[in-house]
Amino acid sequence: MGRRVVITGMGLVSPLGLTTEETWQALLAGRSGVSQITLFDASNFACRIAAEVKGFDPLNWIEKKEVKKMGRFIHLAIAASDAAVRTAGLAITPELSEHVGVYVGSGIGGFDVIEREHTALLEGGPRKISPFFIPGAIINLAAGQISIRFNARGPNSATATACSASAHAIGDSFRLIRGGEAEVMICGGAEAAITPMGVGGFASMRALSVRNDEPQRASRPFDKDRDGFVIGEGSGILILEELEFAQRRGASIIAEVVGYAMTADAFHITAPSEDGDGGFRVMRDAMARAGIGPQQVGYINAHGTSTPYNDKLETIAIHRAFGEHAAKVAVSSTKSMTGHLLGGAGGLEAAVVALALRDQVLPPTINYETPDPECDLDYVPNRSRPASLEYALSNSFGFGGTNACLVLKRYAQ
C-alpha cells in the first residue's frame, strides 16, 4: 500500500472569498459567486457573466516589482500557497527543502499575459514585447514561482490536462509521497481565463451559459434547464505530507488521501463518452486502489459542470460505478456556486471534500429547481446538510477525455 498521505493545510482563493474559511462558509450557505463580468468590457459578448475573484490585490502577497512578471493565475496560486503553508504550520528549513516538492496545474495558464503582449506586438512591433511575457504566461511557472518562494527543492512539475489538471497534480503528488520521493508536496491548481479570448472561445463552442440576466441562477448542475457552464477563476492548493512526518512535527491533520486514478475516454476532443465509460472506470479504479467498495463512499463532489451532456453522462458513470448504492450516495456540484475554475477546479474541490469530511457536512448543489429524468441521483439540492462520512470522492473530467478521481478519508489514527 505504501506510506500514508495526509492533508495538513489548504489555501483557497475563489469567487466566494479570499480565504478558505470565507469560501467554505459561503458554500455551506449556498451562496453564488457568479455576477456580471467586470474584468473586461463584455457588453458585446454572447456570455456576459462569470465567477470572478473579487477584491483580489496581488500586492497583498507579492512585491510590486514582481507582480508584473507573473500572470494572474500565478498571483492567485501564490496567494493560495501562502495560506496553505501557513495553515499547515510548515517551516521549510534548509534541511527539509530537498524533500518538499511543488506540483501545480492549470488548464490555460497566463491567457491575460498572452492577450496583453499580443496587443503590444500588433501596436508597437516586437520590441514592445515584455521580457517577462514567457515566464508570466507558461503553465509551469506557477509551480516554479512557488518553489522559489518557499525554497522547495524537491520534485517540481505542472499538469496541463484541462479541467483535470489540479486533480492530477494532487494525485501525482500523493503518489510521489507514497513512493518515498518526497515528504511534503505543495499541490493543486490555479486558473484565470476570464479574458476576452477565454470567454469568447468557450462561448463560440456554445459551452457557456447565456443566462445573462440571472447570473446567480446560471450555474445549475443536473437541473433540467441547465444551458452551459459558468467560467470561474481562482486557486486551490493543498499541503500533502507523509503521515509519520506530519505526526512528528505535530501537524493538525484535516483528512487523508487514500486513492487516485486517471483514465482516458479515447472518444472525442470535448464530449464525454456516451456510456460514461471514462468516468465509470476512473471511479472504479480509484476506489479499488483505495481498497474500498462503493458502499463505503458517502459523498461525491461531482465534476458537475451544468452542461447538458456532462451532467447526464456523469450520472450514468456513477450508476455504473456504484450499482445499487448509487441511490444512497450524496452527489453535489459546488460549481453551482463557484462556477467552473477549469484547471483550478480540482484543487478547490478536493479541498471542499476534505472540509466535508472534517466537518461532517455536505455542501449543496444550488439552483436545482427542475429535476431531469436523466439525472436521478441525490444531488443535495439547494441546502447543505449534516452527514456521517468516512470516504468521499472528488471527480474531475477534462477536454480530450482526460479523467481524474481522488478518494479522501476522514482522518483517524
Query: Catalytic positions, please?
Result: 163, 303, 340
Query: Which residues are registered as beta bridge partners of 407?
Result: 259, 393
Q: Which of 71, 408, 73, 99 is nearest to 238 (CA)?
A: 408
Place of cell 465567477: 51
Neighbours of 372 (CB within 10 A): 17
Residue 122: CB partners within 8 Å, gap ≥ 6? none
State the helix-helix crossing angle for 308-322 and 277-290, rounded to 10 degrees. 40
Q: Which of 376, 372, 344, 26 is nearest to 227 (CA)?
A: 372
Residue 342: CB partners within 8 Å, gap ≥ 6? 106, 107, 108, 162, 163, 165, 191, 193, 231, 232
Widest distance between CA atoms in the chain: 64
Instruction: Write out the DSSP string of 97-109.
Output: GGGEEEEEE-SS-
State the helix-helix crossing angle for 141-150 and 72-88, rounded to 10 degrees. 40
* Burial class, 2, CB count within 10 angstroms (exposed 0-12 / middle 13-18 / buried 19+): exposed
**Phi, psi at 322, each rounded to 5°:** -110, -15
C-alpha–C-alpha distance, residues 142 and 189, integer Å: 9
Place of cell 501525482: 172
Classify 7 in phi/psi space as left (phi over 0), alpha (psi -120 to 50) or beta. Answer: beta
